[in-house]
Each structure stands twice: as structure tokens, then as C-alpha cells.
Amino acid sequence: MSSDHPTTRDRILKATLDLLEAGQGQGVRMTDIAKRAGITRQALYLHFSTRAELLIATTLYLDAVKGVEERLVPSRTAQTGVERLDAFIEAWGSYIPEIYGIAKALLALKDTDDAAAKAWDDRMQAMRDGCEAAIGALNRDNMLSRDHPPDQAADILWTMLSVRNWEQLTIECGWPQEKYIETLKSLARRVFVAETTSN
């Protein structure tokens, strides 16, 4: 992707990403994407047979460009459940501002556009998998609060870390990004980590 001569597929994905972010998803047709990528509409369909396939691939392309796998290494290699919880919140919370443009576009479209809904659901399921892994690590350490079973705890964490909640706190309420992350870490520890008693 860093090549001076991107492949046709990469040109299509970048064109899709640019158009989605510029128009927040409104009016982005396969014809528009093909024109932006410098190819015919028929050539576009040779690479992506459906709009849903293209939108899902575009979100994965963005993850690759932004190095999401590298960002998740601290969470995946954490030694304890509490460390994994903190590291996942740090990674995802720091990532939201960088993907907010396409997230906002997909959110705006998903209620009336099946392809956008599939793309959004695909990426949110991947994020939920990270939430489940963090909660699972706490549970394995016997550090998960008994207030919520693991599946409900994952539901709650997934909701806490939603793009809409980030938008509300950082954009609507004006919180600095650092405050958002530190507050979410603190809240998550209070909600999910079992209290320990010392003699």
C-alpha cells in the first residue's frame, strides 16, 4: 500500500474511502467510485461483485493502512486480564478519532443501505471480539466482578466503547482525547474488575 504504483484494487479502496469520508456516505455510487479510481464500472465489478463486499473491504483496507494489528499487540500480549482491559481500551479509544470519518459515513447510511449496514456490522463484530477477549482474560484470572456474567460484561464494554459514545463525550461535551481514554479505563475497572480484600 505504500508503493508508488498502487494496484487497481488499492486505488478502488482508496477512492471508496475518500468518497465516503468526503460525503459522509451520501450519494456514493459504484459509478462515482469507478470514476474516482480511474477505471470503468465494469472493471470495478470484476474486483468487487457487490457494494457490500466493497464497503467491507474498504474498512479492512483502512485498518491495514492504520496498522490496527500492531496497535492491538499490547492488548493481545498482556500478562493479566486487567492489563488486557486497559490496553484494549487504549488501542480502540485511540483508534476511533482516526476512523471517525468512515464510521460517521457508515452510521449515516446503515439504516437505509444494506451494504453499509453489513460493513458496519462486520467491523463492530470485530471490535466486540476484542471486548469479549478482554472480559475473558479477566474471567480466567478470576478477576471479573460477579455483578455481570461474561457475556453481559462484554455487552456493556462494547456499548461503553461505541463510536457514538466517543462522539458524545469528545465532540459534543468537548472532552480531550486523553481524558476520554483515562475515564473509560477507570470506569471499566470499577464495573468489571472484582474488588480484592487485603488483610
Q: What is the pLDDT of residues 62-82, one digit of tens each?
A: 999 999 999 999 999 999 999
Q: Which CATH number belongs to the domain containing residue 175 in this structure?
A: 1.10.357
198 assigned to some structural domain: no
Q: In this model, does residue 25 exceed pLDDT 70?
A: no
| In-domain check, residue 3 | no
**pLDDT tens sequence across 135-170:** 999 999 999 999 999 999 999 999 999 999 999 999
Domain annotation covers residue 197: no
> Domain range spanning residue 35?
8-64
CATH code for position 28: 1.10.10
Is 168 in the same domain as 101? Answer: yes
pTM given for the model? 0.84
d(CA 63, CA 67): 6
- Domain count for the chain, please give it: 2
Query: Among the three residues 43, 64, 85, which one is the final residue of a domain in this structure?
Result: 64
Mean pLDDT calculated for residue range 10-36: 83
